[in-house]
Chain A
Amino acid sequence: MFEISRRRAARQYFWGASLSLSLSAAAAALALVAGLLGSVAQAAAISLLNVSYDPTRELYEDYNKAFATYWKAKSGDDVTVNQSHGGSGKQARSVIDGLPADVVTLALAYDVDALASQGALIPANWQSRLPSNSTPYTSAIVFLVRKGNPKKIRDWSDLVRPGLEVITSNPKTSGGARWNYLAAWAWALKQPGGTDATAEAFVKKLYKNVPVLDSGARGSTVTFVERGIGDVLLAWESEAFLAVKELGHAKLDIVAPSLSILAEPPVAVVDKVVDKRGTRKVAEAYLKYLYSKEGQEIAAKHFYRPRDLEVAAKYANQFPTLPLVTIDAVFGGWSKAQATHFSDGGTFDRIYSQ
């Protein structure tokens, strides 16, 4: 009797096992077929990959649609632009490690320089290939504060008050954070009796008031706006306007300091990738279209300062007037600023580790 039941049990186990095995095999096969079909469907149209920094998500979502329409009318081809966003330094690192970006639209020139110096993906003179230092739009660094400015934050000098919490991201990984840091430095330098030593002391005091360093600008915005941490956010002008627009005027105010820095987020075609993929023509057109009236309008609508004078005049009212210094004038360009301030063992390491 036991013999029979055991044999039956064994048979049941066997069929159960076979059934589950064949089911999982079928599932795997289905997934494989679906994947193959998917890749075939993708290959039929031209696709570009734009690797960008954190706060440009909304800008490029709009711009990619406009460019697809423009390119369809011009060449008859369908083009899909895929987006990847993250901290600017981190994104550059990914492209160097092999992320196949046709174009990069990063937060600052140094990160694009890295593609030339560390990856040999683009020539060293990339910045002269497009007008205005390869920067189709610019921005500035402003303050975002709680509604009604309860802590009375008006200028950089207010940020070092004891007990105030300043939110900014990590300059090691975030482009916006590097602009924040340099803007603070430039302001301190322009004060009466300002030297590199007084500027360093000021920036050091400022970072003493920073409770948390996120890795990207958008992370910092979420920390400040959604999690409600901190009294003031140092932000890209575009990011500040977007936060106010998305989350209502009832919660936040923008404060323009007495001096800020002209933030130039550059764009570049990644030669090694486009030549391999055969997408050079459309990638170049993609970046050139940013300089067109339509491209400039879209940038302005997303609170980036347009380069085109006509479009800039049209949207002049929307931006606060504030004196802007350039990185070339105050810091002698990005390579120098990066080496002095943000390289390992540079000024930022010195002031933040102490």
Chain B
Amino acid sequence: MSYNFQTSYSTASRKRPRRLYLGRIILIAVTLAFLAAFLLLPLLAVFTQALAKGVGAYLAAISDPLAWSAIKLTLWVAAIAVPLNLVFGVAAAWAIAKFDFRGKSTLITLIDLPFAVSPVIAGLIYILIFGAHGWFGPFLQAHDIRIVFAVPGIVLATIFVTFPFVARELIPVMQAQGKDDEETALSLGANGWQTFWRVTFPNIRWGLLYGVLLCNARAMGEFGAVSVVSGHIRGLTNTVPLHVEILYNEYNYTAAFAVASLLALLALLTLAGKSILEWREPELYHAARRQQAIQRTRRS
């Protein structure tokens, strides 16, 4: 698609070179200025603040036991939430893109729900369900099971807010690919599992990886929903974003920004990963297209 766009664009520029050239410069300048002011500058500020008192203070802030427990908790939460959402997301996208059934549009709307709902509400939902006065509160208390104000609540809230990422990323990819390949595989005698692993999965894996990257970035960075269910117990239920807020509120600005820079670094890595994927994807896209064409000629 992007290839076509560029061809038509270059033909147009050959017709009216001067005006488009000027317009292009202005557009690029505005975009760059906007990016610098709203994205690059704050990012730079995080790293300068983090290193304001030198590398020693930076390392000390990151290796503080409370910071470590926050980092460990965040990694753990992501390690549970992301694989679960990967499985849910693939299953949901597969069902929506490859099958027709009643209530499909309702399912798509439901998947989008976490994007539409404020994260604070997402957190409060779990307090209302699992809190001491919630629906299951008395039962959980009687059996001494802790969900909210403990790690399970944080995991649940994180799964809720990161639920749409994988599915949303996969549905368009899967829909674009259509069902022909799968139907062919099935008619040639492959079972459902083989069809998924050998036909569907190879086609979606880049989209899937991108969805997982985004899902992971949000899982590690989520503040609102986690803040509501965490209970803010230092060293036990504080994730990295919550720990950053605490440090900031304790006049510990260098440490706050040092820990925040870890999250910023994660964002940068995610973006780098995405760029690599986009750089590799056109090649794969065209390869897939060629194969489809070959298959079609063979079939006819």
- Top 8 A-B residue pairs of the complex, sorted by shortest distance between their CB atoms: A98-B132, A97-B131, A13-B202, A31-B79, A99-B149, A246-B251, A99-B231, A84-B232
B256 CB → nearest A CB, Å: 11
A47 CB → nearest B CB, Å: 9
Known contacts A24-B83, A31-B75, A97-B127, then 13 further A-B pairs from the complex at CB < 8 Å, ordered by chain A residue: A2-B294, A10-B198, A13-B202, A28-B83, A34-B72, A35-B151, A84-B234, A97-B131, A97-B133, A97-B148, A98-B148, A100-B146, A222-B249
Can you spell out 26 A-B residue pairs with CB atoms less than 8 angstroms apart?
Answer: A2-B294, A6-B291, A10-B198, A17-B197, A17-B201, A27-B79, A31-B79, A54-B249, A58-B250, A83-B234, A84-B231, A85-B232, A86-B232, A94-B231, A96-B132, A97-B133, A97-B149, A98-B130, A98-B133, A98-B146, A99-B231, A100-B146, A100-B149, A219-B249, A222-B248, A222-B249
B11 CB → nearest A CB, Å: 34
B residues in contact with A9, CB < 8 Å: 202
Interface flag for A172 (CB, 8 Å) = no
Interface flag for B110 (CB, 8 Å) = no
A82 lies within 8 A of B236 (CB): yes
A residues in contact with B149, CB < 8 Å: 94, 97-100
How many residues on the B side are at the interface (Cβ–Cβ under 8 A)?
Answer: 39
Binary contact track B237-250/A, C-beta < 8 Å → 1, others 0 = 00000000010111
A100 CB → nearest B CB, Å: 7
A28 lies within 8 A of B79 (CB): yes
B residues in contact with A305, CB < 8 Å: none
Contact of A98 among B131, B197, B201, B246 (CB under 8 A): B131
Residues of A162-180 whose CB lies within 8 A of B: none
Interface flag for A49 (CB, 8 Å) = yes
B201 lies within 8 A of A13 (CB): yes
B residues in contact with A276, CB < 8 Å: 144
A83 lies within 8 A of B233 (CB): yes
Interface flag for A257 (CB, 8 Å) = no
B293 CB → nearest A CB, Å: 11
B137 CB → nearest A CB, Å: 7
The CA of A94 and the CA of B231, in the complex, are separated in Å by 7
Interface flag for B44 (CB, 8 Å) = no
A residues in contact with B115, CB < 8 Å: none
Binary contact track A337-352/B, C-beta < 8 Å → 1, others 0 = 0000000000000000
A residues in contact with B144, CB < 8 Å: 276
Number of A-B contacts (CB under 8 A): 86
Nearest opposing residue in chain A for B251, CB measure: A246
A104 CB → nearest B CB, Å: 13
How many residues on the A side are at the interface (Cβ–Cβ under 8 A)?
Answer: 40
B residues in contact with A10, CB < 8 Å: 198, 202
Interface flag for B76 (CB, 8 Å) = yes
Binding site for A on B (CB under 8 A): 72, 75-76, 79-80, 83, 86, 127, 130-134, 137, 141, 144, 146, 148-149, 151, 197-198, 201-202, 205, 231-236, 246, 248-251, 253, 291, 294
The CA of A99 and the CA of B236, in the complex, are separated in Å by 13
The CA of A247 and the CA of B205, in the complex, are separated in Å by 52
The CA of A226 and the CA of B251, in the complex, are separated in Å by 9
A residues in contact with B250, CB < 8 Å: 57-58
A82 lies within 8 A of B234 (CB): yes
The CA of A22 and the CA of B233, in the complex, are separated in Å by 34
A85 CB → nearest B CB, Å: 7
A28 lies within 8 A of B132 (CB): no
Contact of B132 among A85, A97, A247 (CB under 8 A): A97
Binary contact track A6-26/B, C-beta < 8 Å → 1, others 0 = 100110011011000000110
A residues in contact with B249, CB < 8 Å: 54, 57, 218-219, 222
B232 lies within 8 A of A31 (CB): no
B235 lies within 8 A of A82 (CB): yes
A53 CB → nearest B CB, Å: 12
A186 CB → nearest B CB, Å: 29
A residues in contact with B251, CB < 8 Å: 226, 243, 246-247
B146 lies within 8 A of A13 (CB): no
B residues in contact with A13, CB < 8 Å: 197-198, 201-202, 205
Binary contact track A78-98/B, C-beta < 8 Å → 1, others 0 = 000011111000000010111
The CA of A105 and the CA of B234, in the complex, are separated in Å by 16
Residues of A289-309 whose CB lies within 8 A of B: none
A residues in contact with B201, CB < 8 Å: 13, 17
The CA of A100 and the CA of B149, in the complex, are separated in Å by 8
B residues in contact with A49, CB < 8 Å: 233
The CA of A72 and the CA of B205, in the complex, are separated in Å by 57
B179 CB → nearest A CB, Å: 19
Contact of B133 among A82, A96, A100, A219 (CB under 8 A): A96
B233 lies within 8 A of A84 (CB): yes
A residues in contact with B134, CB < 8 Å: 97
Nearest opposing residue in chain B for A222, CB measure: B249
B residues in contact with A243, CB < 8 Å: 251
B116 CB → nearest A CB, Å: 24
Nearest opposing residue in chain A for B148, CB measure: A98
The CA of A96 and the CA of B202, in the complex, are separated in Å by 51
Nearest opposing residue in chain A for B140, CB measure: A98
A17 lies within 8 A of B205 (CB): yes
Nearest opposing residue in chain A for B209, CB measure: A20
Nearest opposing residue in chain B for A12, CB measure: B202
B residues in contact with A34, CB < 8 Å: 72, 76
A residues in contact with B141, CB < 8 Å: 98
B231 lies within 8 A of A14 (CB): no
A116 CB → nearest B CB, Å: 14
B166 CB → nearest A CB, Å: 13
